[in-house]
Structure 1
């Protein structure tokens, strides 16, 4: 594992300031690797990087190590957000969001390494999300036909009504191709509230953090995050939340339906799922979402029910 400029320490998860956490459970070593948004924009003379922590038990974590340090001339210059790691054909691929330079869009690029902790190297030639558009939070999925996909958010800052879309990936994961499949439009949801950013004088319906899970009943479940109105349902808090959409036939092109009940509505979100080495299912999320600066990775046990997922 590669050291960066920060001191390596062993700490509890609640001592790690991180948004968008993601756990990769590596069975070959029986170790958990934790990635997330940490040093996203650099500071002083240090460039932005992606970092990684390692654990044997999901409680004590050692790090941060340097998972990806951008080479000179790399297209992503800031906003190093939401890294996710997947093992494909014996190699490890990081899907991560970057913002390009002046006049360039945000997008998800793909990095590669020979070990889940890195060091990661540039793999795709620039972003593999929609060219010329503001996109982020790309995740990976391979369907039953062997088709590889990137599922991502088409940003509310460009569209007003944020969307989640999918593009086919080439087998070597270097590029996307074909027409995008639209999975959902955030403005259609009865629980969602307008999100605003006064710095850019915009409001819109935000989409964050798609993550796909194939259920035992064959349905394809999509977890995603946005902000909910207060008092939605019987206990809505009106904060950052996690919702579930589902494709009953397991296909990326759906049709997709939406659970009316929010999966989480507790000022927590940007979630993914993983299994521990006893095959128990967990959700990995950051909590709280606000106030900013207090975000910590949180792991909660999940069980699969006949018609979906439930927190245990």
Structure 2
């Protein structure tokens, strides 16, 4: 995929997900089928406490469901400080919900387009960073905690996700954006015990160009793609550590998987040869239903008159062996 098309995609995405602070509260509707919801980067938390499924994603809104079939929403659940680096109108991307040590955490990417941190090949790079918010309830409200800067303020970072490694410590895994680096990276950084900040510097896990399946074109030649997007960690029943993540195969948004040879975040990370989802599905995550079934949530997108339409989908997956296997689409 050309840099121009990548920029166009990101631009359209930004236009499509104005922050909740600007939009105000939308009209809440009930009994919405999943395929009628327009949402990118879907993330579903199966909350044992309330026996409710909570879905969020880009835009930061929240949907609720008892059965994964009918949903109510959207609810405004994110509260940011206009005096912080996020500013008054941050765009919200790729929000995730995680339950940890009795609290609920919202890992999300915020963009303040009024602050330019870099210019690369005449492209202005805005202030964009993964940040952590907290709530006592699964349905919020979620508010920022701890330090203003989880990650270097002169880095464009996105799609932070959460993992407790074998050392028992919490980490954020995130992307350093290709717009700034030229070759997107996947990184890890240690979090404080209460997730209120980070400790030390991040460590490189792998580059976008390490992938054998993601491809693009440059000067008429086929080259590795440079986009890293949407990491999510999982463990198989054999305790093999894996990471799903998304890039592009030419013009198709596609998801692949990598496995850690050491079984920890330190890797080395071995990329699978082929994607694991059909073309045009990506930014996935995994969760377990209340009856024990493992599912993947991901989104597809299509172009309707120049506007990207994103639709969440569910897939049944098998983690019983030493690798992730997508079994079939899941219809609640």
TM-score w.r.t. the length of structure 1 is 0.86
SS of 1:136's partner is strand
Task: Specify whether residues 269 and 21 from structure 1 end up closer, same or farther in structure 2 by C-alpha distance, changes over 3 A only.
Answer: same
Q: Which runs of 4+ in 1 moved over 6 A?
A: none
Give the deviation of 1:178 after TM superposition: 2.1
Match in the other structure for 1:8? 28
Residues 208, 225 of structure 2: 8 Å contact kept: no
CA distance in 2, matches of 1:131, 1:288: 31
Structure number with the higher helix fraction is 2
State which of 288, 292, 296 in structure 2 corresponds to 1:283.
296
Match in the other structure for 1:235? none
Task: Specify whether residues 130 and 74 from structure 1 end up closer, same or farther in structure 2 by C-alpha distance, changes over 3 A only.
Answer: closer
Q: CA RMSD in A?
A: 1.9
CA distance in 2, matches of 1:127, 1:134: 12
Give the deviation of 1:204 after TM superposition: 6.4
Residues 24, 85 of structure 1: 8 Å contact kept: yes
CA distance in 2, matches of 1:195, 1:272: 28
Residues 237, 320 of structure 2: 8 Å contact kept: no
Any stretches of 5+ residues in structure 1 without a counterpart?
39-49, 197-202, 230-237
Give the deviation of 1:305 after TM superposition: 4.4
Are 1:37 and 2:58 counterparts? Answer: yes
Any stretches of 5+ residues in structure 2 without a counterpart?
1-23, 118-126, 219-223, 328-332
Match in the other structure for 2:171? 149
TM-score w.r.t. the length of structure 2 is 0.81
CA distance in 2, matches of 1:289, 1:179: 38
Residues 153, 208 of structure 1: 8 Å contact kept: yes
State which of 242, 246, 263 in structure 1 corresponds to 2:255.
242
CA distance in 2, matches of 1:289, 1:143: 36
Alignment of 1:220-259 (within 5 A): 220-229=241-250, 239-259=252-272
State which of 59, 74, 86 in structure 1 corresponds to 2:98.
86
SS of 1:146's partner is coil
Task: Specify whether residues 23 and 195 from structure 1 end up closer, same or farther in structure 2 by C-alpha distance, changes over 3 A only.
Answer: farther
Residues 82, 137 of structure 1: 8 Å contact kept: yes
SS of 2:137's partner is coil
